[in-house]
Structure 1
């Protein structure tokens, strides 16, 4: 105690409490290998008991690590951004690492220069890129030249130079379309995401594959593009419902667009799901708030983020591509079509 205030725990206090050397504590804090599970657990117990918080600046000066990673995120869905930040933060906290969350405009002609400025002004151990920046050739080339470790979330293609984490977007969309087909729908429309996102093409391909599996010819009039947001979903649904032969089901490439489609249907006085079934993608929180609650494909964004950070923080291995599971969530927005 000093002047009535408790002293801040140091690495020496942790080593004494755990009965190990300071070097061993350092290895555990840095998540290095060659530390036994029992010793690692003892050190972690001491860290928790003493409420020890590493001095990141001192740790960075002592070695080559910065104990800081960056997230570059550009997505129209606030829930996606929040889940991405939360998943990365959870993984970083386990290693005493900070996260820098930096939004960028994917349409900016100076995107690569802006990210280079981030690299120049913020020492970091690596960077997580989310779509569509995860497929930006200029950004990937820049980071490779600068020697910055990269993990790409939901990329459209894989490379040997960078790690990645994703779900099977094509397979998930195929499964959702097959579900609508199993209910008896044959005129199934698809509202795809923004063409800059590789996930948009992957989900459209899954939709088309399911139709082909069922022997149903593609009707171009039933395929619309959106921007992964509510307004574009509503506008696309209006165009689909204006068709001489409108769809009996709409599968949107995001929950935001699906919510827009629900609203467009309600405006017309349609009874859902009797008059129209609507399905989404993501299982965002709003999927349970809209009416009727949305049938959707769960994309584990928080887990994707956690694994992206984990790949960066265990970057002493070869670049790895982790594929996580998706899961269909059936709610009240889909049912067998009424006879027309």
Structure 2
């Protein structure tokens, strides 16, 4: 040992225990710093206790998404006797580095992440440096993690084809959080469909998956001199906000404006008319991710990379119709 002390003494210093002289503690700490040593907290937590402790790290602006996600995590976790420690970032931003380090040091066995943090490199760096298994729901960029998602591009293509097949040619698209790969994939699917018809007039505006951003985006699209006859929002919260904007303008949905969303969260059916949307099985995504995370933890060894893609569906409700007959659409 570089500090010239026993492994037991090193363990006491790392774990902050008493029984070490100040000068010895200082020497050990200098050696740790010089070697850039990082303890494997996942292994240490399993040695200290048989209890399965899972960190749930989230900062999602959609309350409906989070409700489905947490239900899936908690229900699956109950079958494994898991205990959850929740850590929240604000406004779509990651928790502070200090908070992340405290979570790791608490002895968690692994962590599960929601969008947009599933692809936040700063969060992943802290967890991976500690050797913790990670499950990321909705992530497209997987490295040493379990990633569970739907085929966002294909799903958005199918929804866009539905609008085009109804006869819509003036279509607005509300983009999601620009920091999430899923946002770019959904926009790519939208343009895959648009290119197939060749005569569509489209406009893309930026959102961030929050209801508030949907209000702003809906106003931008409907303020256009030739507004769209259909709007595809990248999630249900923004689609619901767009319907609210349409109602405020006394537009009939769907006779004068078709609106569709993505996710099929409770927000899709808590307004009139209920939304036609892409069903992303958030509950199942979360449960599958947690089951794979637990399997990874119990298997031991280094964290595993694995990508799972679940099926989506197009759910038809009352927010879609052909464009108004009087419109040159």
Instruction: Identify the TM-score tier after normalising by the shorter chain.
Output: 0.7 to 0.9
Structure 2 counterpart of 1:178, from 155, 161, 167? 161
Of 78, 85, 88, which aligns to 2:73? 88
How many residues align structurally?
A: 277
From 113, 124, 127, give the equivalent of 1:140: 124
SS in 1 for 2:81: coil
1:62, distance to aligned residue in structure 2 (A)? 6.9
Kept in 1: contact 2:177–2:209 (CA 8 A): yes
Match of 2:36 in 1: none
1:334 aligns with 2:315: no
Q: Is the 8 A contact 1:106 1:133 kept in 2?
A: no
Q: Which runs of 4+ in 1 moved over 4 A?
A: 60-65, 106-110
- Partner Cα distance (2:83, 2:172) in 1: 43
In structure 1, the partner of 2:59 is: 74
Equivalent residue, structure 1, for 2:26: none
The alpha-carbon deviation at position 305 of structure 1 amounts to: 0.7
Write the mapping of 1:254-273 to structure 2, written as runs, cut at 5 A: 254-273=235-254
Q: Aligned partners of 2:223 and 2:93: how far apart in 1?
A: 35
In structure 2, the CA distance between the partners of 1:119 and 1:246, relative to structure 1 (3 Å rule), is same
Cα-to-partner distance string for 1:62-120 (whole Å, 9 max, x where unaligned)? 77644111111111111211211111111111111112222113665863332122111
Structure 2 unmatched ranges of 5 or more: 1-44
The 8 Å contact of residues 88 and 99 in structure 1, kept in 2 or not, is answered as: no
Q: Give the structure, 1 or 2, with the largest relative contact order (CA under 8 Å, sep 6 or more).
A: 2
Q: Distance in 2 between matches of 1:98 and 1:110?
A: 20
Cα distance change on mapping 1:337 and 1:229 into 2, 3 Å: same
| Counterpart mapping for 1:149-164 below 5 A | 149-159=133-143, 161-164=144-147
Distance in 1 separating the partners of 2:315 and 2:117: 29
Residues 106-145 of structure 1 aligned to structure 2 (within 5 Å): 111-120=96-105, 122-145=106-129
Match of 2:234 among 239, 242, 253: 253
* Alignment check: 8 A CA contact 1:177 1:211 kept: yes
Find the residue that maps to 1:71 and give its secondary structure: strand
Structure 1 residue 309 and structure 2 residue 299: aligned?
Answer: no
| Root-mean-square deviation (Å) | 1.9
What TM-score does the superposition give when structure 1 sets the normalisation length? 0.77
Structure-1 residue corresponding to 2:151? 168
Matched residue SS, 1:105: coil
SS state of the match for residue 158, structure 2?
A: helix
